[in-house]
Amino acid sequence: MFYCSLCENETCYISKFCSKCRKIKHYLNLYNERVYEVLDNVLSRDIDKQNNKIQVEIKDEIKNKEEKIEVYKVPQLRSMSKK
């Protein structure tokens, strides 16, 4: 039996990594040091604090998207009110 070189749980016959670990490898190729920073910052906390950290990290992103949605909605509402 051959096992994934990273998780050492999944069986792998052709590749070195299982599909989930292949994804991690892609993240490493793309973001390099950032992957280690995120893992250290997020996974070193307990589950509640991890969720809080994730919420804080994505809060700005969510706010930006909501603002974009609002900007898009306003012209549509204006045109509807004219009718």
Q: Please report, as ranges, the residues that interact with Zn ion according to CB under 5 A.
A: 4, 6-7, 10, 18, 21
CB of 16 to Zn ion, least distance (A): 9
> Which residue, 28 or 58, is less far from Zn ion as judged by CB?
28
Nearer to Zn ion, 7 or 58 (CB): 7
What does the angle CA 49 – CA 52 – CA 53 come to, to the nearest 5 degrees?
Answer: 85
Read off the tokens for 58: 């994505």
CB 13 to Zn ion: min, Å = 13
